[in-house]
Amino acid sequence: MSDVPAYRDANLAIDRRTDDLLARMTLVEKVGQMCQVDGRRDPITWVRDHHVGSVLHLMGEALAEVQQEAEQTRLGIPLLCAIDAIHGHALYPGATVFPTQLAMSSSWNPKLLEQVGRITATEASATGIHWTFSPVLCIARDLRWGRIGETFGEDPYLIGELACAMIRGYQGADLSDPTSILACAKHYAGYSQTQGGRDASEAELSRRNMLTVFLPAFEAAARAACATFMTAYQAIDGTPCTANPWLLRETLKEQWGFEGFVVTDWNNIGWLHTLQKVCPTMADAVCLAVESGNDMAMSTPEFCELAIAAVKDGRLKEQYIDESCRRILRLKFRLGLFDSARAFDPSAVKQTLRCAAHRDAALEAAYESIVLLKNDGLLPLKPDVKRIAVLGPNADDVIAQLGDWAALVDHDGVYRHLHPRENIVTVLDGVRQRAGASVAVDCCKGCDVIEPDTQQIRQAAELAGKADVAVVVVGDTKQLTGEGHDRTDLSLSGGQQELLEAVHASGTPTVVVLINTKPLTIRWAVEHAAAIVEAWNPGSEGGKAVAGTLFGDRNPSGKLTISFPRHVGQQPVYYNHIPGWHGGSYVDLPDGPLFAFGFGLSYTTYEYANLRIDQTELRIDEVLRATVDVTNTGRRSGVETVQLYVNDVYSSVTTPGKELKAFQRVTLEPGETKTVAFELPCARLSLINRKLQRVVEPGEFELMVGSSSRDEDLLRASFRILP
């Protein structure tokens, strides 16, 4: 008989190995697996004395040292190493930085998101990382919230489609692949719908609203085998998400069959006691969190000792500890951590990080993320342009271009990017490279995003006056966005509005390029600029993509996944609102958005015709089949995103006037017509009724297909669901 314990035998089934290891573990070792600590704060002691199961914010050689310490413990249980690789492994210096989630969502391209996830996993795993806290499935509806740029936009269905694609990329075909990493669906749930757009404040959501709007994308992620979920900071109707067994146990683990584990967000358990004050002591908070369904405590240092004491005192059942520990160990076995080091690999880092193929993918992602919002014919730039003025605070700002989770803040409060400057192509860099020696490129910052500067604005206006075209790059930056950085105002900050007006007054045709994390209120720019290009935070290759779009090397194909308001007070302006607003508009503003969900222009034009439904009366278990003809009526080839919406005309509860149910990207040559076919299971037409049951109600439905969510862009047809 072999002396090798069963959990060390790679030939045995994972459940057998997990049960064997769990039976050998002491209470201290089991509780330790449920603890994740900040790797920057004495991780060796935590591993040696508390047997912690996971570390975060530690990579490379430093991580390898801590992992070796874990291997020397009594049972040699490897650490699960995590990082916020949100849009690329961007917290690792020199890695590929992709556009942010909101940017990439504008591609409406799940295959692109899957590729980005796969590349991120490949780069992260080379540095010793096994787990990323991504994707974000929050629904962006209050634009004052600082974390809008981390989301996939405002539509539950589209968020679920893109998130599942990214999960497939992260986790690969099998978690045992050494380049696969665990995905994490966050923040579960309703985190984005807090009062006043204030990060982590109370969310007033009914259970029906949760089931209808905020949970479907998470359910899709669970059914796509997302390995981990992260609980949200906030409370819903008085119950913190970390203390909500309906969310964590009943819905996620029991109804959806989730087999991974749940991790809290940063010190969520501590918040139950110190901030939300639903627990008089930290010991109460630990017991409540575990009983509610949390499996791993992120950065709550008191967790280990208090959980052990609670079990010994009989306050906390050890079966909860065993359940959570088993979930964590199973994933460690599935990753192959007991059989292969999967540690920091300097040679793989050198070969993999920001290699040519990954740079090409980042450039493609940036191109597909760009949305053309306005064009009076100035774009693409004509060959007779000989002098360009590139102006604005974000024209050469690396931190603004890379976006959140790609920079660190120093002790003095200054944000500093982590990547060699030569690795980043800003808009100024891109225009200079693309313009070549025959075109003069003048540049001036013009103003600051935070504070105005009259002298710089005058200088910028003078340069604009001498140029054939002015490219003004404005938006926001890290100080104004991100976690804990919520805003009351969505207008251009600092001196940016004054800069736009001064450049416009020069008489030079102006292109406004937006480098921003969220929609801004830019009515003046819409009325006065010749063209507006939304580039979001386009990543390390973003400037090259912006320049290529301006010069016409690529035909823009991006479509908005989030609506632009005309004024901050107009919120919310998401497209799938519930009808019933008495009056239908404000007295001082139209009710419609400045730019609608699904909207995006092109350098060509498209025409929709002949919307047809194969069968206009269907049973609930049947499939709706519809076709539409789309023609490229312009002179350039292009990619069009055909969008399908449905309206449940009469229902037992109020429902949106339209909801996205399907979409397809179609490539069309000039003059070409393609018939686009959709197949929509009638089960997808369900709603949550008054009894909180998901049902499809018989009756009349309206099918809408077109280029955006705007009524004027949609063809319509009717069908019925039979009893």
For every residue of 194-225, DSSP letters joined together read -GGG-TT--B---HHHIIIIISHHHHHHHHTT
Residues 666 and 551 in one domain: no
Q: Would the pLDDT of 584 be above 90?
A: no
Span of 237-241, 290-294, 478-482, 551-555 with lowest mean pLDDT: 478-482
Residues 316 and 400 in one domain: no
Mean pLDDT for 91-103 is 97
Element (H, E) at 513: strand 510-515
Reported as a pLDDT band with limits 50, 70 and 90, residue 340 is confident
Residues 125 and 273 in one domain: yes
Cα separations in angstroms, 231 against 124, 186, 376: 23, 7, 46
CATH for 211: 3.20.20.300
The residues facing 240 across adjacent strands are 235
Residues 413 and 271 in one domain: no
Which 3 state secondary structure label does DSSP give 373?
strand
Question: Measured between alpha carbons, how far is 534 from 373 in angstroms, rounded to an integer?
Answer: 7
How high is the pLDDT of residue 107? Answer: 98
- Structural domain span for residue 708: 606-721
Which 3 state secondary structure label does DSSP give 334?
helix
Q: Is residue 191 within 8 Å of 141, Cβ to Cβ?
A: no
Tokens found for residue 279: 């627990």
How high is the pLDDT of residue 407? Answer: 81
Residues 389 and 318 in one domain: no
Residues 496 and 626 in one domain: no
Report strand pairing: 617-618 vs 673-681: unpaired
Residue 218 CB neighbours (<10 A) = 28
Q: Would the pLDDT of 453 be above 80?
A: no
Question: Measured between alpha carbons, how far is 179 from 200 in angstroms, rounded to an integer?
Answer: 34
Summarize pLDDT for 693-715 with one digit per residue, the tens. 999 999 999 999 999 999 999 99
Mean pLDDT for 89-107 is 97
For every residue of 615-660, DSSP letters joined together read -SEE-TTSEEEEEEEEEE-SSS-EEEEEEEEEEESS-SS---S-EE
Q: Is the whole-model pTM more than 0.85?
A: yes
**Identity (one letter) of the amino acid at 211?**
L
Tokens found for residue 293: 């369904």
Element (H, E) at 711: none
Which residue of the set 265, 345, 396, 648 is catalytic?
265
Summarize pLDDT for 169-205 with one digit per residue, the tens. 999 999 999 999 999 999 999 999 999 999 999 999 9
Is 12 within a domain?
no
Question: Measured between alpha carbons, how far is 63 from 130 in angstroms, rounded to an integer?
Answer: 12
Question: Measured between alpha carbons, how far is 461 from 505 in angstroms, rounded to an integer?
Answer: 8
State how far Cα 550 lies from the chain centre. 26
Report strand pairing: 606-613 vs 659-668: unpaired
Q: Please confirm, yes or no, whether 265 is among the known catalytic residues.
A: yes
- Number of structural domains, the chain? 3
Residue 710: exposure state from Cβ atoms within 10 A (0-12, 13-18, ≥19): middle
Residues 176 and 322 in one domain: yes
Reported as a pLDDT band with limits 50, 70 and 90, residue 414 is confident
How high is the pLDDT of residue 411? Answer: 59
Q: Would the pLDDT of 440 be above 90?
A: yes
Which 3 state secondary structure label does DSSP give 48?
helix
How high is the pLDDT of residue 368? Answer: 98
Q: Which 8-state DSSP code applies to residue 40?
A: T
Is 579 within a domain?
no
**Pick from 646, 722, 654, 650: which is nearest to 688 by CA?**
654
Residues 395 and 459 in one domain: yes
Residues 438 and 476 in one domain: yes
Provide the phi-psi class of 575: left if phi over 0, else alpha when psi is between -120 and 50, else beta.
Answer: alpha
Mean pLDDT for 596-621 is 98
Q: Is residue 686 within 8 Å of 583, Cβ to Cβ?
A: no
Instruction: Specify the length of the chain in residues.
Output: 723
Reported as a pLDDT band with limits 50, 70 and 90, residue 668 is very high
Reported as a pLDDT band with limits 50, 70 and 90, residue 410 is low
How high is the pLDDT of residue 580? Answer: 84
Is 3 within a domain?
no
Mean pLDDT for 332-353 is 92
* Residue in this structure with the two tokens 């053309």, named with its chain if needed: 372
Reported as a pLDDT band with limits 50, 70 and 90, residue 301 is very high
**Pick from 152, 118, 158: which is nearest to 138 by CA?**
152
Among 492, 527, 556, residue at a domain's last position: 556
Is 354 within a domain?
no
Among 536, 556, 576, residue at a domain's last position: 556
Is 506 within a domain?
yes
Mean pLDDT for 38-64 is 93
CATH for 528: 3.40.50.1700
- The greatest distance separating any two alpha carbons of the chain, rounded to the nearest whole angstrom, comes to 88
Terminal CA-to-CA distance of the chain, rounded, Å?
65
Rg of the chain on CA atoms, in Å: 26
Tokens found for residue 265: 């967000």
How high is the pLDDT of residue 706? Answer: 98
The residues facing 643 across adjacent strands are 663, 706
Mean pLDDT for 49-55 is 96
Mean pLDDT for 32-54 is 95
How high is the pLDDT of residue 214? Answer: 98
Q: Would the pLDDT of 337 be above 60?
A: yes
Residues ≥6 apart with Cβ < 8 Å to 343: 63, 64, 67, 128
Output phi, psi for 103, to 5 deg. Answer: -65, -55
How high is the pLDDT of residue 342? Answer: 87
CATH for 668: 2.60.40.10
Which 3 state secondary structure label does DSSP give 397?
coil
Residues 416 and 314 in one domain: no
Which 3 state secondary structure label does DSSP give 452?
coil
Residues 489 and 620 in one domain: no
Q: Which 8-state DSSP code applies to residue 97?
A: -
**Identity (one letter) of the amino acid at 632?**
N
Span of 48-62, 570-584, 603-617 with lowest mean pLDDT: 570-584
**Identity (one letter) of the amino acid at 434?**
R
Is 569 within a domain?
no
How high is the pLDDT of residue 39? Answer: 92
How high is the pLDDT of residue 412? Answer: 65
Reported as a pLDDT band with limits 50, 70 and 90, residue 581 is confident
Residue 272 CB neighbours (<10 A) = 25
Is 10 within a domain?
no
Q: Is residue 264 within 8 Å of 289, Cβ to Cβ?
A: yes
Reported as a pLDDT band with limits 50, 70 and 90, residue 2 is low
Q: Is residue 549 within 8 Å of 367, Cβ to Cβ?
A: yes
Residues 46 and 190 in one domain: yes
Among 297, 317, 348, residue at a domain's last position: 348
Is 124 within a domain?
yes
Question: Measured between alpha carbons, how far is 86 from 241 in angstroms, rounded to an integer?
Answer: 22
**Pick from 150, 125, 94, 39: which is nearest to 418 by CA?**
94
Q: Would the pLDDT of 690 be above 70?
A: yes
